[in-house]
C-alpha cells in the first residue's frame, strides 16, 4: 500500500492515520479516519525531509488556540521566489469539511512521489510555485467544527479589521502579501460545484459580476472541464441551484456559478483575494458530505486531480517579468491593465510585484497595455503587448 505512513517512525501512529492510494477491499471499505491538525503538520514536515529538492515547509501563522498553520511549497527551488506563476491551494477553512484537507494531502503525495517518473508532473513542479495550506482552521478541524476557536466563520471574516479580524485570517493575508499569487483555490464540502467571484452580490439578480468575467469563466471552465463528467452529469446535484431570493432555479454553466447566485455572503476568502490582491480565487465544493470510506475519499480526489493540474498549468498564461531599478527588484509595484483599443479593464485584477520584484498577470489572448506605478518612481506604461499564451516583459523604473 502506497502511503506517507511508511516514513513515520512510530508504529503507534499507524492506527491514527489512513492510507493513500489503493489497498485491499477490507481497508478500502472500512471507516475512514480523517487526519488531525498535528498529523497534517507531521506529514508536511516529513514530505520536506523526503523531498528536500522540491518541498519546503513555511509557517503561515498561529490559530486562535495556538496551533501552527503551515504551508508546503512545491517547486524546483521551493525556498526561492523566481518569478514563476504562484498558485495557492487552501483547505480546512471550515473545520468540519475534512475532505478538502484530504484532497490536498493526496495532491501533495501525487506531485512529490511522481516527480521523477512523470514528465507532466515534473514540468508543472519545475515551472510553478505551488503553495499548499491543507488546514487554515486547525482548531475547527481538531473539533470537527465549522468555526474557529472563537466561534467565528473564517469565510465571513476577510472584510473585518482590528480585533474582529481573526488570527487565522490575518495570518493568511500577511503570508500572501509577499507572494503575489496569481490564482488560487479554496476547497469546501457541501455541494459539487465551482463557485466564482463574487459572493457579495448576485450576477443574475443584481448584475454584480467581475469586469473581467470572460477571463474568470474561462479559468473556471478549465477546472470543471478537466474533471470529466463529475460536474456535469447529475441534474439534481450538479446542474441547478435553487435561489430563494430569486424564487427559482439558477442553472449552472458546466458546474460553475457566480457565488451570489447561489447565496450572498460578505467577507469570503475568494472575494478578498480577487479584489484586494488581484489573485483569481475559486471556492470549489468537491462533495456533498465527507466520504466515510477510503474508496470514497480516493474517488473525490481522482475527480479533482486532473482538474487541478489543468488549472495550475493555465496559471502560466498572461504577461510576466520583473520590475527593477536596473539592478535590484522593486517590491509592491502596482500593475494595472487596459486593452490596447483604449478600453479599461482596471478594477478587478490589480496586482503588485512580489518581494523580489517579480510579477505575473493572467490574461486571455489579446493585446494589452500595462501601467507600472509606485510612489517615488516614475510611472511607466508599456503598450501593445501581444499575448497568445505566455509573454515576457521586464521593466526598469527610475
| CB proximity list for 202: less than 8 A, separation 6 or greater | 208, 243, 245, 246, 258, 260, 261, 264
**Cα(217)–Cα(223) distance, integer angstroms:** 10
- Residue 310 near residue 303, CB atoms below 8 Å: no
* Per-residue pLDDT at 10: 31
pLDDT number for residue 342: 61
Q: What is the DSSP string of 74-85?
A: ESSSTTS--SPP
| Per-residue tens of pLDDT for the chain, all 398 residues | 334 333 333 323 223 333 333 333 334 556 899 999 999 999 999 999 999 999 999 999 999 999 999 999 999 999 998 999 999 999 999 999 999 999 999 999 999 999 999 999 999 999 999 999 999 999 999 999 999 999 999 999 999 999 999 999 999 999 998 888 999 999 999 988 999 999 999 998 889 999 899 999 999 999 998 765 566 554 444 456 666 666 667 778 888 999 999 899 999 999 999 999 999 999 999 999 999 999 999 999 999 999 999 999 999 999 999 999 999 999 999 999 987 766 666 667 889 999 999 999 999 999 999 999 999 999 999 999 999 999 999 999 99
Handedness of CA 194, 199, 203, 208 (dihedral sign): negative
User: CA dist 94 to 194, 293, 303, Å?
Assistant: 17, 20, 21
Are 112 and 118 in contact by the 8 Å Cβ rule? The answer is no
Rounded-to-integer distance, Cα 272 and Cα 281, Å = 9
- Report pLDDT for 211: 86
For 310, the grid coordinates are 489543468
- pTM, to two decimals: 0.90
- For 374, the grid coordinates are 509606485
Q: Please, which contacts does 149-154 make with residues 24 or more away whose CB atoms are closer than 8 Å?
A: 149/63, 149/64, 149/65, 150/64, 153/94, 154/93, 154/94, 154/269
Tally helices (H) and strands (E) across the chain.
11, 18
Cell 517590491 belongs to residue? 331
Amino acid at each position: 500500500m502506497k502511503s506517507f505512513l511508511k516514513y513515520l517512525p512510530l508504529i503507534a501512529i499507524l492506527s491514527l492515520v489512513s492510507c493513500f492510494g489503493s489497498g485491499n477491499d477490507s481497508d478500502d471499505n472500512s471507516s475512514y479516519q480523517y487526519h488531525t491538525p498535528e498529523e497534517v503538520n507531521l506529514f508536511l514536515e516529513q514530505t520536506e525531509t523526503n523531498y528536500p529538492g522540491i518541498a519546503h515547509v513555511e509557517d503561515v501563522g498561529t490559530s486562535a488556540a495556538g496551533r501552527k498553520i503551515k504551508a508546503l511549497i512545491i517547486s524546483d527551488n521551493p525556498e526561492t521566489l523566481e518569478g514563476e506563476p504562484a498558485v495557492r491551494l487552501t483547505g480546512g477553512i471550515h473545520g468540519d469539511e475534512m475532505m478538502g484537507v484530504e484532497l490536498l494531502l493526496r495532491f501533495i503525495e501525487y506531485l512529490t512521489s511522481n516527480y521523477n517518473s512523470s514528465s507532466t508532473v515534473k514540468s508543472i513542479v519545475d515551472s510553478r510555485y505551488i503553495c499548499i495550506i491543507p488546514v487554515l482552521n486547525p482548531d475547527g478541524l481538531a473539533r470537527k467544527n465549522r468555526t474557529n476557536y472563537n466561534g467565528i466563520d473564517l469565510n465571513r471574516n476577510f472584510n473585518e479589521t482590528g480585533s474582529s479580524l481573526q488570527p487565522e485570517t490575518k495570518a493568511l493575508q500577511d503570508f500572501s502579501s509577499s507572494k503575489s499569487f496569481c490564482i488560487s483555490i479554496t476547497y469546501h464540502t457541501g455541494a459539487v460545484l465551482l463557485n466564482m467571484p463574487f459572493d457579495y452580490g448576485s450576477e443574475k439578480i443584481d448584475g454584480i459580476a467581475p469586469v473581467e468575467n470572460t477571463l474568470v469563466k474561462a479559468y473556471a471552465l478549465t477546472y470543471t472541464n478537466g474533471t470529466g463528467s463529475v460536474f456535469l452529469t447529475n441534474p439534481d446535484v450538479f446542474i441547478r441551484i435553487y435561489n430563494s431570493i430569486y424564487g427559482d432555479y439558477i442553472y449552472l454553466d458546466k458546474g460553475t456559478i457566480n457565488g451570489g447566485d447561489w447565496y450572498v455572503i460578505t467577507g469570503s476568502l475568494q472575494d478578498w483575494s480577487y479584489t484586494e490582491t488581484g489573485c483569481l480565487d475559486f471556492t470549489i465544493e468537491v462533495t456533498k458530505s465527507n466520504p466515510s470510506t477510503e474508496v470514497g475519499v480516493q474517488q473525490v480526489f481522482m475527480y479533482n486531480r486532473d482538474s487541478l493540474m489543468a488549472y495550475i498549468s493555465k496559471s502560466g498564461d498572461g504577461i510576466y517579468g520583473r520590475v527593477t531599478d536596473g539592478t535590484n527588484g522593486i517590491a509592491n509595484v502596482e500593475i494595472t491593465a487596459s486593452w490596447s483599443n483604449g478600453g479599461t479593464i482596471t478594477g478587478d485584477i490589480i496586482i503588485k510585484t512580489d518581494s523580489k520584484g517579480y510579477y505575473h498577470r493572467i490574461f486571455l489572448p489579446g493585446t494589452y497595455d500595462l501601467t507600472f506605478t509606485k510612489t517615488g518612481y516614475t510611472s511607466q506604461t508599456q503598450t501593445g503587448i501581444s499575448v497568445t499564451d505566455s509573454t515576457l516583459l521586464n521593466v526598469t523604473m527610475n
